[in-house]
Structure 1
Amino acid sequence: MSDFLLIEQHGPVVTITLNAPERRNAISSFSDCDEVEDACRRITRDESVRCVIVTGADPAFCAGGDLKGMRDRTGIMAATSAAEMRENYRRGIQRIPLALWELDVPTIAAINGPAIGAGLDLACMCDMRIASEKAIFAESFVRVGIVPGDGGAWLLPRAVGLAMAAEMSFTGDPLNAEQGLAARLVSRVVPHAELLPAAKELAARVAKNPPQVLRMTKRLLREGQHMSLPSLLELSAAYQAIAQETEDHKEAVNAMLGKRAPVFTGR
């Protein structure tokens, strides 16, 4: 077991739990960032993984940054100049959105409690989001006199649209679970006890599909957010040519025609 993350794998699904409940799973050190980056790197290399669930140890999903660290200038916040603080962000928490957003396999945020500041942005780094009824969402950086330093200004508008992202960012006001659902921040809200089962059920529906095709589909969705349509069509044609030469594609077609469940091998 690692210090900050608890990582478990059952079949093709990996569950990553932020496991520092005593600090409400706040991201407070360079080693916290190291663990997330390392976990993403290992998962990308592991072709047996088809889906990842990210959650937090109760009672919080992630409280964001460490307020005491901000006050005392410790951990990631230990800096004696603006230039040093800029480097701390670049070498620290900014590695998390780069690692998690670029993770090859589909990701699900199972938001079990408050997702505040960088914690909300962490949820937005995932492809899919499910919330417990106990979830609270806040883009609260302005409330403590700072800006979103971890990519939230890029991530949140893509999740809820520019107007809602602006309202959340300029006010810092929290949303409860139902308000998060109405804002399309999450796709569903479930009773707290049913959150992980619901996330695992969704992960199972994802993971039953061909693993290489899942990874290519995710890459197309990511690239489609900044590429022109002609460029994306070119990339799609290349990926399609690869996909149609796989054994999994042949198995999928034969299984569908034979009215049986397919068995995918990743080849």
Structure 2
Amino acid sequence: MSEKLLYQQAGHVVTLTLNAPETRNVITDRDMMDAVAEGFERAEADQSVRCIVLTGAGKAFSSGGNLRHMKDKTSIFGGTTLDVRDGYRSGIQRMVRTVWNCEVPIIAAVNGPAFGAGCDLTAFCDIRIASTTAVFAENFVRVGIISGDGGAWVWPRQIGLSRAAEMLFTGEPIDAQTALEWGLVSSVVEPDELMEKAYALAERIAYNPPRQLRLSKRLLRQAMTARLDDILELSAIYQGACHQTDDHAEAVDALLEKRDASFSGQ
């Protein structure tokens, strides 16, 4: 895996850190996009992982696209129209698909500015916690492009159509407090408290049985686009599977015996 993404695991929680602070963690460089996709794939494949915390090294979460590459028309921004299409599909779009489809719950600990593709990356996570220094901007129109990584799809689902349109059409940033008021983030904390807050939430999530966590997330994802009847049927199937697990029996026993549960993933 590229050094541009740090992968660290403590117990059942994996921390993924965008690690290119010299560029404010631009995310459209090929090695960064590949590393992020591979990091999430690695965590999802590991059944011991129950929660992922995503953050950025340095003072920014991610400044988004590499402006130098845009100007020089290199990397995913170079070539013919079809070349650019292919570059987006195999690069930034592959990355956000991997994040969105990852069955492990994801917390974005937004430590600073999240612009463009970096802003979209936070929206594809499940939960966002922001530092007071965090700033969110869908600023694609400010550089004469559009969101090529699914921003038009994910933002109305996160904050509603009107506010999503405001962000996309103006390109203007919103601060952490506004993000909290809009429901984009769950909480806002001081910079030196951000990771402590993120890990505390991650541990609360990771206490629970891992397979049931993944199925719960899968239901949430499916419910965003499916009919109620379809979700009810899927829920019944998932529930039938859960009732057969050792972790279900352990959870019930622990509640009846008034003790903490210990889950095996079985």
TM-score tier, shorter chain, comes to over 0.9
Matches of 2:26 and 2:69, distance apart in 1: 10
Q: TM-score of the superposition, structure 2-length normalised?
A: 0.98
Matches within 5 A, 1:102-121: 102-121=101-120
Match of 1:27 in 2: 27
Match of 1:11 in 2: 11
Q: Residue 92 of structure 2: SS of its match in structure 1? A: coil
Alignment size in residue pairs: 266
- Give, in angstroms, the shift of residue 2 of structure 1: 3.0
Aligned amino acid, residue 39 of structure 2 = A
Matches of 2:125 and 2:11, distance apart in 1: 20
Matches of 1:60 and 1:131, distance apart in 2: 12
Match status 1:198 vs 2:197? yes
Matches within 5 A, 1:128-147: 128-147=127-146
Matches of 2:60 and 2:116, distance apart in 1: 13
Match of 1:36 in 2: 36
Matches within 5 A, 1:158-177: 158-177=157-176
- C-alpha distance after superposition, 1:132-190 (max 9, x if no partner): 00000001001111010001111111111110000010000100111111111101100
Consecutive unaligned residues of structure 2, counting only runs of 5 or more, are: none
- C-alpha distance after superposition, 1:3-61 (max 9, x if no partner): 21011000000000000000000013222221111112211110000000000012100
Matches of 1:94 and 1:13, distance apart in 2: 25
Match of 2:61 in 1: 61
Q: Residue 62 of structure 1: SS of its match in structure 2? A: coil
Q: Residue 68 of structure 2: SS of its match in structure 1? A: helix
Matches of 2:122 and 2:94, distance apart in 1: 15
Match status 1:238 vs 2:237? yes
Q: Residue 188 of structure 2: SS of its match in structure 1? A: strand
For the aligned residue pairs, the C-alpha RMSD in angstroms reads: 0.9
Matches of 1:145 and 1:77, distance apart in 2: 13
Aligned amino acid, residue 22 of structure 1 = E
Identity %: 52
Matches of 1:177 and 1:98, distance apart in 2: 26
Matches within 5 A, 1:241-260: 241-260=240-259
Consecutive unaligned residues of structure 1, counting only runs of 5 or more, are: none
Matches of 1:248 and 1:214, distance apart in 2: 11
Q: Residue 94 of structure 1: SS of its match in structure 2? A: helix
Q: Residue 9 of structure 1: SS of its match in structure 2? A: strand
